[in-house]
Structure 1
Amino acid sequence: MLSGLLIILVPLLIGYLIPLRQRVTLIWINRLLGWIVYIILFLMGISLAFLDNLSANLLAILHYSAVSIVVILLCNCAGLLLLERFLPWHHRHRQQKLPSRLKMAMESLQLCGVVAAGFILGLSGWSWLTHTTEASEYTLILLLLLVGIQLRGSGMTLRQILLNRRGTLVALVVVVSSLLAGAINALLLGLPLKTGLAMASGYGWYSLSGILMTESYGPVIGSATFFNDLGRELIAIILIPALVGRSRSTALGLCGATSMDFTLPVLQRSGGVELVPAAIVHGFLLSLLVPLMMALFAA
């Protein structure tokens, strides 16, 4: 248990302590992160192919992810709608022309193709592919080191976080409602409570949560978490324009950790420039919490 916790926290902390501010270096780190994510998801697909009772496990992945998506989104929406009711987010923004949501969705679905490619290769049964687990672990350590550097390099200070009350409140509601959903999922799916809570702590950051959960709980739970968080992002892309006029808190909260990067353009054009600071704070807080919460529950 302790080794799994240290694998997540130590490289993340070391990366966060590295004070990189050069824009060119940070851009290269972001690109490298993207490549590493593809590599690890490819390795995750290979691991899936080596599962015993493969057909039964694939059905389990589908079942876990489908139930998790529904329960987490319902709990998030309930909490965020209550927040909007008691603390309305007033605005005067008129919605602009949106970027292609289909194109954004297809970019996300490319990651499914990477997992599928790894799965197909794994079906070959070549002996050297049995070293996938060790390769995934070392690649994960590098990934977390770079994530720590990226979070430090974002320049987000404690003062900026505390001053943006709305972004912090929405993130808090997402965390609490997701934990409630995780407990419900554990009950519905017959999983240990800590496993359900860990699966609900990805907050839409599918490229990291699936990898961390595979490392801690194996490829079935890891893959289910990946598809759960990927589904969350795709649903958010579709619903943001419709929700932002009725409940800005809900539109922001459904984006999860991606509100500071991938879904930020949709949020900005749908909700206006004044939504951007809250979105960045919200996404930063959830991005910071994903590895920490998963490390806690994995231990």
Structure 2
Amino acid sequence: MFQGMLLIFTPLFVGYFIPLRQEKWQRFVSNLTNRLITLILALIGVSLAALDNLLTNLGQVGLLTLTFFLSIGLFNLMALLWVDWRYPLAVKEQQGDENSLPHAKESLSLLVAVLAGFVVGLATKYWIALPLDWVDQANTVILMVLLLLIGMQLGNSGIGLKQILLNRAGIRLAAVLIMTSWLGGLLAALILSLPWHQGLAMASGFGWYSLSGILIGDHLGPVYGGASFLNELLRELVALISIPLIMRRFPNTAIGYGGATSMDFTLPIIQRCGGIHCVPTAIVSGFILSLSVPFMMLFFLQL
């Protein structure tokens, strides 16, 4: 257990203390991170193609994805709507509609990477007849580099401990999403007859589809990794589409449902639809959830 956690947290810890003072290096790390995420998700697609009884496993991926998405979403939305009623959040009135299509395209491009890897894997397996046993080792190496870069980004995000501790709304949203996601994960595990700790691990992605798909796939195999990726990707797509529609009436729900994405992909829409006062809440909530994903997911996976 501790060896596996050390393997993950060492590059995160080291990366956190590497300063990126010049903007060009920050852009370089961001671009490299995006490329490695695309590459490792393509390798997940290759891993899916390498499975035996492929059609049966694809059906299992769909069943896992749908069950976890609906179970977790049910608990998330009920609790977030209660937060909106109990702790209303002021938003700025905005003019016009927000176009979420560019952000949705960015998410869909990662799904395309998985599909492309799947096609390449099928071609390699059935047409070229080459072995695919190298994929797991390649995933591990790229994951270590990716976590180092993620640690660098977190360390240079500019969010200090004081800012986190002072923003109660952001902490509240993060806590609500964590607890209700776990409830949904337990329900999904019960429905699917899975071990409870696997249900909690699958529910601990909080919208970070790239990292959750990688970590789950590395420990539970490509079927669960693919399901975790799709589950969290669906969360982001629903958030991107719904934020412009519900921000004025249900701002906590609009910010909170996106989970970890509220500090990156969904943040621009949150700012434009809810105003600048919503930004600290979104950043703090997303930051806490992003920081929680590797710790909580790996903890449950190692049980």
Normalising by structure 1, we get a TM-score of 0.96
Counterparts of 1:108-119 in structure 2 under 5 Å?
108-119=107-118
CA deviations over 1:191-246 (Å, ceiling 9, x no partner): 11111111111111111110111111110100000000000000011111222112
What is the CA–CA distance in structure 1 between the aligned matches of 2:95 and 2:47, rounded to whole Å?
A: 44
In structure 2, the CA distance between the partners of 1:149 and 1:201, relative to structure 1 (3 Å rule), is same
Matches within 5 A, 1:61-140: 61-91=61-91, 93-123=92-122, 124-125=124-125, 126-140=129-143
User: Match for 1:176 among 171, 179, 191?
Assistant: 179
Q: C-alpha displacement at 1:79, in angstroms?
A: 1.2
Letter of the 1:187 partner, please give it.
L
Runs in 1 of length 4+ with deviation above 3 angstroms?
Answer: 96-99
Once superposed, what is the RMSD of the aligned Cα atoms? 1.3
- Write the letter of the residue equivalent to 2:119: I
Q: Distance in 1 between matches of 2:228 and 2:8?
A: 17
Count, aligned residues: 298
Task: Tell me, in whole angstroms, the C-alpha distance in 1 between the residues paired with 2:172 and 2:95.
Answer: 26
- 1:196 aligned onto 2:195: no
Pairwise mapping of residues 30-49 of structure 1 onto structure 2 (< 5 A)?
30-49=30-49
CA–CA distance in structure 2, aligned partners of residues 225 and 210 of structure 1: 5
Counterpart position of 1:226: 229
Whether the 8 Å CA contact 2:98–2:273 is kept in 1: the answer is no
- Cα deviation for residue 99 of structure 1 reads 4.3
Please name the residue that 1:237 is paired with: 240
Identity of aligned pairs, percent? 47
- Work out the CA distance in 1 between the residues paired with 2:26 and 2:250: 34
SS of the counterpart of 1:89?
coil
What is the rounded CA distance, in whole Å, between the counterparts of 1:3 and 1:97 in structure 2?
52
The match for 1:51 is 51
- Once the two structures are overlaid, the 10-residue window that deviates more, 171-180 or 118-127, is 118-127
SS at match of 1:201: coil
Q: In structure 1, what is the Cα distance between the partners aligned to 2:247 and 2:301?
A: 35
Tell me how far 1:255 sits from its aligned partner. Answer: 1.1
Whole-Å Cα distance in 2 between the matches of residues 253 and 202 of structure 1? 14
Bigger drift between 222-231 and 196-205 goes to 196-205
The letter of the residue matching 2:193 is G
Structure 2 residue runs of 5 or longer lacking an equivalent are none
1:129 CA displacement: 2.9
C-alpha deviation, 1:298, in angstroms: 1.2
Q: Is the 8 A contact 2:16 2:155 kept in 1?
A: yes
Q: Deviations over 1:148-173 (max 9, x none)?
A: 11100001111001111111111111
* Structure 1, unaligned runs of 5 or more: none
CA contact 1:96–1:269 (8 Å) conserved in 2: no
What displacement does 1:128 show? 4.7
* In 2: Cα distance, 1:190 partner to 1:296 partner: 20
1:109 maps to a residue whose letter is L
Q: Contact conserved, 1:80 with 1:249, CA < 8 A, in 2? A: yes
The 1-side partners of 2:251 and 2:259 are apart by 13
After TM superposition, the structure 1 stretch with the greater mean CA deviation from structure 2, 254-263 or 19-28, is 19-28
1:292 and 2:295 correspond = yes
Contact 2:50/2:132, CA 8 A, preserved across alignment: no
Return the TM-score normalized by structure 2. Answer: 0.95
Distance 1:108 1:239 in 2: 15
Distance 1:190 1:266 in 2: 38
